[in-house]
């Protein structure tokens, strides 16, 4: 709009309301870059080397010969502990002194089993059972300890020694004995227990190296050990009167199977050699 001075011919002056419109020029924005992903560093060479060393050590510790070495170390430690603690004192001392009856017989059976694993002769333990508990309770404790000790030895030999020793069964005699135990486990072990020509510990570990099952081994041990064990226990219970008929009969029951077992073992040896 023009004011009065302009209409009269003067210079036209722009009204404040007629000021120039300001131009707004849009400025382009820079595109947003995606956020960088976290970088996972690869496993270091030292970690891989330590894992490989741990795996090699584990394989070495679980190898057959490492387990067999552990078995030998356990048996040596057990035999050494027997020499230190002198279990023959069971014959002279009433052990355990604070127990009696079935409880004492149970503790004795457990100790009996552990002692047989440590190569303590079973005749000594059977005599001790008879001297401490009499005929009836002594026979039960001795047979229970026999089965327990045989099972412990069989388990140790099977887990720690079988894989290392089976490849060494290359001779004809060893292969024949292994086949007899593997195919006729119950019958073979029953014969070994009935006739005292084979040492108790040797039968246990030979059966463990073979493919004989647990049930035939334990059943044959329980049944076959009763006659010889009972004879020794009765002899121990009646040792105070060595001229009594009971003592004489028990001694005959010990000597007769030993003689028969020696003859059978001699004939069996020649039979296996011919095969």
- Residue 34: inside a domain, yes or no? no
For the record, the structure tokens of 68 come out as 């067999």
C-alpha–C-alpha distance, residues 152 and 160, integer Å: 12
- Residue 205: inside a domain, yes or no? yes
For the segment 97-108, the average pLDDT, to the nearest whole number, is: 82
- Residue 42: inside a domain, yes or no? no
C-alpha–C-alpha distance, residues 107 and 120, integer Å: 17
- Residue 19: inside a domain, yes or no? no
Residue 149 near residue 217 (C-beta atoms within 8 A): no
Count of the separate structural domains present in the chain: 1
Q: What is the pLDDT of residue 11?
A: 47
- Residue 43: inside a domain, yes or no? no
pLDDT, the chain, mean: 77
For the full predicted model, state whether its pTM sits above 0.85: no
- Residue 15: inside a domain, yes or no? no
- Residue 184: inside a domain, yes or no? yes
Per-residue pLDDT of 185-222, as tens digits, reads: 888 899 888 877 778 988 899 888 888 889 999 999 99
Per-residue pLDDT of 66-75, as tens digits, reads: 888 888 888 8
Q: Is pLDDT above 80 for 32? A: no
18-32, 84-98, 225-239: least confidently modelled range:
18-32
- Residue 221: inside a domain, yes or no? yes
Angle between the N-to-C axes of helices 245-274 and 185-194, in degrees from 0 to 180, rounded to the nearest 10: 130
In terms of residue numbers, what domain contains 268? 60-274
Confidence label for 26 from pLDDT (cuts 50, 70 and 90):
low
The percent of residues above 90 in pLDDT, for the chain, comes to 20
């Amino acid at each position: 709009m023009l004011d009065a001075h302009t209409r009269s011919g003067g210079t036209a002056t722009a009204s404040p309301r007629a000021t120039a419109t300001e131009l707004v020029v849009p400025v382009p924005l820079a595109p947003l870059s995606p956020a960088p992903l976290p970088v996972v560093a690869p496993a270091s060479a030292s970690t891989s080397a330590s894992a490989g060393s741990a795996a090699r050590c584990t394989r070495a510790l679980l190898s057959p010969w490492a387990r067999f070495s552990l078995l030998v170390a356990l048996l040596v430690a057990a035999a050494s502990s027997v020499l230190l603690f002198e279990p023959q004192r069971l014959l002279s001392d009433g052990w355990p002194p604070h127990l009696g009856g079935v409880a004492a017989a149970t503790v004795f059976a457990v100790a009996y089993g552990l002692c047989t694993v440590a190569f303590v002769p079973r005749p000594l333990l059977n005599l001790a059972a008879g001297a401490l508990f009499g005929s009836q309770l002594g026979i039960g404790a001795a047979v229970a300890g026999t089965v327990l000790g045989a099972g412990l030895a069989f388990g140790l030999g099977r887990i720690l020694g079988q894989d290392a020793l089976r490849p060494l069964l290359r001779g004809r005699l060893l292969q024949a004995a292994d086949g007899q135990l593997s195919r006729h486990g119950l019958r073979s072990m029953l014969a070994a227990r009935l006739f005292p020509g084979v040492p108790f510990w040797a039968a246990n570990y030979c059966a463990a190296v073979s493919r004989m099952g647990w049930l035939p081994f334990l059943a044959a041990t329980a049944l076959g050990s009763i006659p010889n064990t009972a004879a020794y226990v009765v002899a121990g219970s009646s040792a105070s009167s060595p001229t009594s008929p009971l003592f004489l009969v028990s001694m005959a029951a010990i000597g007769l199977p030993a003689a028969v077992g020696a003859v059978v073992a001699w004939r069996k040896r020649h039979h296996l050699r011919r095969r």
